[in-house]
Amino acid sequence: MDRASGWFKRHAQNVALAVSAVLVFGANVDTLDLASSLASSPAARTKTVEVAESQLRAAETAEKTTDEEIKAGSPQGGPTLGRLREQTEAARAALDLAASNLEAAGLRFGWQEYPSTASAWVAKATGLLVSVLAVSLGAPFWFAVLQGFMQVRAAGVSPREKT
């Protein structure tokens, strides 16, 4: 069983790297370019925060609506197929709106232009590699990192959270 577990972990890590590489290179998500854009443009930072807050509000509303439907007891024991399709279409519209808002703020995704010099290609490759490695770590890792930052910011665990 230990051998099977080790085999799975090795292959899962390779699959995560491959999937993250495809996503990052396909979408041209360059961490270094994004960081420099956000550092140099207050409008981009403000717009990014606004988009994130609106997406959070929309997700909370959708979660409450879905919870209410489940509690009300729809015929299949969950949200209806039509309601799920509506939520999917609303999510697509929200994604398109968020992408257009971020693009208006100066944050571009996708391959609109290619680097022209060798040093620009090296910088682009470095930014893409950083993105691939960050994405391949997965959500649990980043959630734990953010929790650590929040605990430092809040100066420890609150008395309510101690069990």
Q: Kindly report, residue by residue over 79-137, the tens digit of the pLDDT.
A: 567 777 887 888 788 778 877 877 777 777 788 888 899 999 999 999 999 999 999 88
Q: What is the pLDDT of residue 20?
A: 92
Q: Rounded CA gap, 6 and 3, in Å?
A: 5
Ramachandran sector of residue 118 (left: φ over 0; alpha: ψ -120 to 50; beta: rest): alpha
Q: What is the mean pLDDT of the chain?
A: 80
Res 36 pLDDT > 90: no
DSSP string of 29-66?
Answer: --HHHHHHHHHH-HHHHHHHHHHHHHHHHHHHHHHHHH
| Spacing of C-alpha 148 from chain mean position | 18
